[in-house]
A and B are shown apart, each in its own frame.
Chain A
């Protein structure tokens, strides 16, 4: 954790190799998946465990997720989680996505096997999850990166946490969306669009357009444009 103005010494959590993490809504906890130790051999890379770091006490406690589950998102009350697994089946890797709530004995699979979940964001009340769902064909792990021979699904999906019903959000341009976030009241979403193939603009700078819309993508309105190098962060709170 680093002060934005550089006026204090950064806090670095030792003895863990985090691979994914999320900051709680109140900023007091960091939920993360990873491995113990200062370095991890590649063959053990997928054997992750999940923890929660209290930023006040600096203590780490276990999180109620099975081994091999990557934390993808956690609700603002910390009770419901989305996680994913990577399992090798013959020569290919299969990614699965799971939902765990406070009452579940074990994670419940959502989406379908082979679908990767990106940009997973709980609505503020925890009742819905917005997911960028991508289905890769022949997913391979090359000791550093994944590769696939094709993509057969690339869409935004809203999942009802209670019923686990999935609804495709067809009007969101997922191919060019870089990030999204719910509004604090959960009635709208904001998303960032960057088209790498767009022509024009300032050389060396990328253009990012921010839209606000209803969660189903309706009534999208361009509200802001930003230019610069890479997108580092996006949030609405």
Chain B
């Protein structure tokens, strides 16, 4: 006779993982930390980020592997001289 705890383990391990690829995850970056979570608001987790990294704003893009960010350095724009670098 199979012990009940083994049956319970088999059921647990046989359960499919969350369908992340079809459901996806939402990422929001407010202030210093980006956070990812499922579209029902659960399983929130922070993305590790260098604490000195400063983004230019809402138009920045995080790469699909969540390892890099692509941005425009607007700080190089000199409005006073009307020169945009």
Which A residues are CB-close (under 8 A) to B66?
4
What mask results when residues 170 to 199 of chain A are scored 1 for a CB within 8 Å of chain B, else 0?
Answer: 000000001101011100101010000000
Show the binding face of B for A, using Cβ within 8 Å: 21-35, 37, 39-41, 44, 47-50, 52-53, 55, 57-73, 79, 82-85
Distance, CA A93 to CA B85, complexed state (A):
23
Out of B26, B30, B32, B64, which one reaches A25, CB within 8 Å? Answer: B64
Q: Which residue of B lies closest to A190 (CB)?
A: B26
Out of A45, A185, A190, A208, which one reaches B84, CB within 8 Å? Answer: A45
A21 touches B70 (CB 8 A): yes
Q: Is A20 an interface residue (CB 8 A)?
A: yes
A23 touches B63 (CB 8 A): yes
Interface residue tally on A, bucketed by range: 35 or more
Out of B40, B60, B68, B82, which one reaches A3, CB within 8 Å? Answer: B68
Q: For window 201-237 of chain A, which residues contact chain B by CB distance below 8 Å?
A: 205-206, 208, 210, 212, 223-224, 226-237
Which B residues are CB-close (under 8 A) to A55?
70
Interface centre among A42, A223, A233 (most CB of B within 10 A): A233
A2 touches B69 (CB 8 A): yes
Distance, CA A144 to CA B46, complexed state (A):
36
Would A231 and B30 be within 8 Å (CB), given that A4-B62, A4-B66, A40-B84 are in contact? yes
Q: Which residue of A lies closest to B85 (CB)?
A: A39
Q: Which residue of B lies closest to A2 (CB)?
A: B69
B70 touches A144 (CB 8 A): no
Nearest chain B CB to A162's CB is how many angstroms away?
25
B70 touches A1 (CB 8 A): yes
A1 touches B69 (CB 8 A): yes
Would A144 and B28 be within 8 Å (CB), given that A1-B70, A233-B55, A236-B39 are in contact? no
A-B contact list, 29 entries, CB within 8 Å: A1-B63, A1-B68, A2-B53, A2-B68, A4-B48, A4-B68, A6-B50, A25-B64, A39-B83, A39-B85, A42-B83, A144-B79, A179-B58, A181-B26, A184-B22, A184-B24, A210-B26, A212-B40, A223-B37, A223-B41, A224-B28, A230-B31, A232-B29, A232-B57, A233-B28, A233-B29, A235-B27, A236-B25, A236-B27
